[in-house]
Structure 1
């Protein structure tokens, strides 16, 4: 589905079904150097089980055009315009990593537009080490390799992997390389810089009044569950689910993540 947002084409995957704004809407927001495809299983399942799905490509990522946005706040503003362009008054937001910050900030900016909030692989502050930030600026391929290793808990598939015979790590690496080919303007650095610079997380979290869910990867070393104590304290009513995965939990434990999201959205 192609929308026009801020004067540029914006792509949202609708889960294999035409988008119907009269259904409860779920918006999926990917993380740094990714696109909508990281939500393949979860978005498709929900689209075939009573939800209108918009799994967006952020500007400069995937099929969305325009330059990558340089702040979480700007991405949240863009997301609200996506909802308006799609004719959606209210939606549940599901964000992973950088996408979780975008979802959180969107809920802060427009609480009346957000019905539920699911934050996966989230933490605040989402600081990026100087070494990784500088590598993403000076040697993007090296940064891709570093993050790909850090984001997975094992080189082997988990039993529930929906793609037997394929490499989860290899697929993640090729996706990030593809993002570099589509947008060679230091995309990874731009995304990491936005995560690193975002400073409104405490205030945004304290403002959350809608139902909320945290999904953590037990073996996540990118955004360790321990580092999310501040967010958990700021949103005391939030539910938490932990899956046996690293940061790339949607690929390592797709069924576990889907079960958590489907149960939360139905509750």
Structure 2
């Protein structure tokens, strides 16, 4: 599905289903150097179980035109504009990594538009090492290899992910290279990492959130380890935390566990 958001074409995967105003809506927001496809199992399941699904490519990424968001705040404004363009008054937001910060900031800025907030593979602050920032800018292929080592805790996923024999490292590298190549005007790798590193409104934002909150974390996550969410969870005492056996690439390493956690959370 294509929507015109802020004057530019935005791609949203709907699971093959048309938007239905009578159904609840869930928006899936990807992380740095990813696209809508990282949510393939989860988005298709929700699309076939009574939900409108908008699994987006952020602006300047793959199938979406426009300027890649340089800050979390800028990306949050885009999500609100996306809801307007889709004619959706209220939606559940599910974000991974960079996307989790975008979802958080959106829920704080427009609480009346967000029914649920699920932060997957998240941390605050989401600091990025100077070495990784430098590599993302000056040696992106090297940085892609670094991120893949940090992001994965297994070589091949369970059968319900992309299928038996899928090579997580190779598949992820190919996706990241494709996303990087999709924007010839700006290095979305470095821009995204900078946005994560510079975001300083997390604690104020979580205090302003008015909807149910889920922290969905990977026990073996080296990028955003579970302990790194404590500053947010402490300010959201009624939130729920689920830890699954996975690294930072939760959606592919623990696809069923991630799906079931989201299913149970959004059913509430």
For 1:247, the equivalent position in structure 2 comes to 248
Q: Are the equivalent residues in 2 in contact too, given 1:21–1:86 (CA < 8 A)?
A: no
Q: Distance in 2 between matches of 1:213 and 1:174?
A: 30
Q: Distance in 2 between matches of 1:159 and 1:49?
A: 21
**1:76-100 Cα shifts (integer Å, max 9, x gaps):** 0011000000000000000000000
What is the distance in 1 between the residues matched to 2:236 and 2:196? 20
Query: Residue 213 of structure 2 corresponds to which residue in structure 1?
Result: 212
Determine the structure 1 residue equivalent to 2:259: 258
**For residues 167-206 of structure 1, what are the structure 2 equivalents within 5 Å?**
167-184=167-184, 185-206=186-207
The Cα shift of 1:160 comes to 4.3
Cα shift at 1:236:
0.9
Give, in whole Å, the separation in 1 of the partners of 2:160 and 2:28. Answer: 21
TM-score normalized by structure 1?
A: 0.98
Count matched residues. 267
Partner of 1:16 in structure 2? 16
Aligned partners of 2:117 and 2:191: how far apart in 1? Answer: 25
How far apart are the structure 2 equivalents of 1:111 and 1:6?
21
TM-superposition CA deviations, 1:1-59 (whole Å, max 9, x none): 10011111001000121122331000000000000000000000000000000001101
Q: Is the partner of 1:220 in helix, strand or coil?
A: coil
Residues 204-236 of structure 1: CA deviation (Å, up to 9, x unaligned)? 011122111110000000000011110110111
1:212 and 1:195 mapped to 2: Cα distance?
20
**SS at 1:234's partner residue?**
coil
Unaligned runs of 5+ in 2: none
Q: Which residue of 1 aligns with 2:225?
A: 224
Report SS of the residue matched to 1:222. coil
Distance 2:157 2:22 in 1: 38
Contact 2:156 2:166 (8 Å CA) reproduced: no
Runs of 4 or more consecutive aligned structure 1 residues displaced over 4 Å after TM superposition = none
Q: Which runs of 5+ in 1 are unaligned?
A: none
Distance apart, 1:177 and its partner CA: 0.4
Partner of 2:48: 48
1: CA distance between counterparts of 2:156 and 2:180? 26
SS of aligned partner of 1:55: strand
1:119-134 matches, cutoff 5 A: 119-134=119-134
Aligned twin of 1:135:
135
SS at match of 2:234: helix
Equivalent-residue separation in structure 2 for 1:145 and 1:168 (angstroms) = 12
